[in-house]
């Protein structure tokens, strides 16, 4: 039996709809509406998603899943504070989020199962628990990786974002301090023509690869931070002075043509990125999305005058400009990787800017009427060990972590799943990166039956899991 589109009244059969994701057609709004009717998560109201990634793995014990009754070597130094949700406590260093707990949900039962940065990042970025043949986590970026969620969204929603690309990642790739790229960030087996927009707005720290200034590297000091930001989009690195020096379309096109001559790219790939570059600098609304350093000082202060805060502000503006999925990386490997001085680092450097930026985003979306149509997720690649080590830190812990969701119809004041009394294991409602990805894809109307083909023509389902139950009431 066919499916009747509410918009056109035409009948669309299931096979035709599924094929829409396998051939060179983007999914239209009509297709997406019909595909939702095939069994997607109809409770989500989102038109876009902002994914805030806490690079390195946030300690759930010291943020959103505190264990006040556990022994001292497990519960740690922080006290819990009450929230607007009866019976829910979170860390004392998240006071602004505590006052807004009625507007977000916590999933305290996320599990990657891996305690290694590289495999866990691959899982969280791609929504896959398995690894493809010939995959090597030590040789990234590589064609032999599953495509990232931003890359898949770029493919599946290529006709849905107007001038803008469907997905973007900022303020820098996820790279550790010795220059190793985390796997699963790029298009991989989907093909490089579907690479999401990676926007580099952070100068490299001289110690490694970071987001200076305020690069969130605290364990080696003193050292000199890079002082300036950079502004770079694919195939278009602007001269000194940034995009404000471009007076018009002629200058822009001349710069693109100059760089085109020096780049070894396919014609199709060049055309895609060329059009996107032109859109960025030729459209006033789009230019405004990137010009966060010239934003109102009070707005910058609200988000935090650091790269994470300004990146979150840019993410909000990008979804307003038509981007469907924006991933913001908070720091590099060492940011939340608190093997030593966990409590000092989190108290002074990590929790306050996160509390400030996430709260500002939540309030801004609500005040502007965009909260119901924007799903925001906050997650790292894993949690931290229950037992505090000899360096006053916590090590990698794949068995359990906490993830935050708000907007897009998510029921606030909601806690899903639970860990045991020491935060060591999931004891209720285990969730995986596959379910995490399914929640994002379904919120955007991308169907479970959607297909992408790898560079060798083999078909793959876009996602495998099921949207996390209970998020929408």
Between CA 259 and CA 408 the distance in angstroms is 40
* Average pLDDT over all residues of the chain: 80
Task: Express each pLDDT in 443-454 by its tens digit.
Answer: 999 998 899 999
8 Å CB contact between 421 and 69: yes
Task: Express each pLDDT in 244-293 by its tens digit.
Answer: 433 444 454 555 455 445 444 444 454 555 566 655 556 666 667 777 77
8 Å CB contact between 306 and 214: yes
Single out the residue of 456, 437, 319, 463 nearest to residue 21, CA to CA.
463
Q: Which residues pair with 194 in a beta bridge?
A: none
Strands 325-330, 48-54: pairing kind: parallel
| pLDDT for the residue numbered 281 | 58
Least confident of 78-92, 283-297, 309-323: 283-297
* Better-scored residue on pLDDT, 20 or 451: 451
Task: Give the burial string for 261-286 (b: 16+ CB within 10 Å, else e).
Answer: eeeebeeebeebbbebbbbbbebeeb
* Better-scored residue on pLDDT, 28 or 160: 160
Mean pLDDT of 189-213: 72
Tell me the whole-structure pTM to 2 decimals: 0.83
Domains in the chain, please, with CATH?
A: 46-447 (3.40.720.10)
| pLDDT for the residue numbered 330 | 83
Task: Express each pLDDT in 344-370 by its tens digit.
Answer: 989 988 999 999 999 999 999 999 999
Least confident of 132-141, 204-213, 285-294, 435-444: 204-213
Q: Is the pLDDT of residue 179 over 50?
A: yes
Least confident of 100-114, 198-212, 416-430: 198-212
Single out the residue of 156, 49, 144, 77 nearest to residue 379, CA to CA.
49
Task: Express each pLDDT in 29-47 by its tens digit.
Answer: 333 443 334 334 446 779 9
| pLDDT for the residue numbered 272 | 56
Single out the residue of 317, 386, 400, 402 nearest to residue 97, CA to CA.
402
8 Å CB contact between 332 and 208: yes
Q: Is the pLDDT of residue 462 over 80?
A: yes
């Amino acid at each position: 039996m066919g499916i009747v589109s509410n918009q056109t009244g035409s009948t669309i059969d299931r096979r035709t709809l599924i094929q829409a994701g396998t051939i060179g057609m983007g999914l239209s709004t009509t297709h997406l509406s019909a595909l939702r009717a095939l069994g997607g998560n109809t409770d989500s109201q989102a038109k876009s998603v902002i994914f805030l990634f806490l690079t390195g793995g946030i300690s759930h014990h010291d943020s959103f899943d505190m264990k006040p009754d556990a022994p001292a070597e497990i519960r740690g130094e922080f006290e819990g504070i009450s929230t607007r949700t009866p019976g829910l406590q979170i860390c004392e260093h998240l006071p602004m989020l505590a006052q807004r707990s009625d507007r977000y949900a916590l999933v305290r039962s996320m599990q990657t199962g891996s305690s290694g940065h590289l495999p866990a990042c691959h899982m969280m970025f791609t929504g896959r628990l398995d690894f493809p043949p010939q995959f090597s986590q030590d040789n990234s970026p590589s064609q032999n990786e599953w495509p990232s969620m931003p890359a898949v969204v770029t493919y599946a929603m290529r006709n849905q974002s107007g001038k803008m690309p469907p997905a973007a990642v900022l303020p820098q790739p996820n790279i550790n301090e010795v220059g190793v790229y985390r796997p699963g960030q790029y298009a991989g087996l989907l093909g490089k023509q579907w690479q999401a927009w990676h926007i580099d707005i952070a100068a490299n720290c001289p110690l490694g690869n970071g987001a200076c200034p305020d690069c969130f590297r605290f364990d080696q000091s003193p050292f000199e931070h890079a002082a300036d930001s950079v502004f770079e989009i694919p195939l278009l690195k602007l001269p000194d002075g940034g995009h404000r020096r471009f007076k018009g379309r002629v200058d822009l096109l001349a710069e693109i043509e100059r760089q085109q001559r020096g780049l070894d790219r396919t014609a199709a790939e060049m055309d895609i990125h060329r059009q996107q570059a032109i859109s960025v600098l030729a459209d006033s609304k789009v230019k405004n999305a990137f010009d966060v350093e010239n934003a109102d000082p009070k707005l910058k202060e609200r988000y935090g005058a650091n790269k994470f805060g300004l990146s979150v502000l840019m993410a909000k503006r990008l979804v307003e400009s038509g981007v469907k999925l924006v991933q913001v990386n908070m720091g590099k490997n060492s940011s939340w990787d608190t093997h030593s001085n966990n409590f000092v680092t989190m108290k002074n450097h990590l929790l306050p800017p996160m509390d400030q930026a996430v709260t500002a985003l939540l309030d801004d979306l609500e005040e502007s009427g965009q909260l119901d149509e924007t799903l925001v997720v906050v997650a790292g690649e894993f949690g931290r060990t229950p037992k505090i080590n000899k360096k006053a830190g916590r090590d990698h812990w794949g068995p359990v972590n906490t993830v935050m969701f708000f907007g897009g119809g998510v029921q606030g004041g909601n806690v899903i799943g639970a860990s045991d009394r020491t935060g060591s294991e999931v004891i209720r409602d285990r969730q995986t990166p596959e379910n995490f990805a399914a929640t994002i894809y379904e919120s955007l109307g991308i169907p479970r039956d959607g297909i992408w083909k790898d560079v060798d023509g083999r078909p793959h389902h876009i996602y495998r899991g099921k949207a996390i139950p209970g998020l929408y009431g």
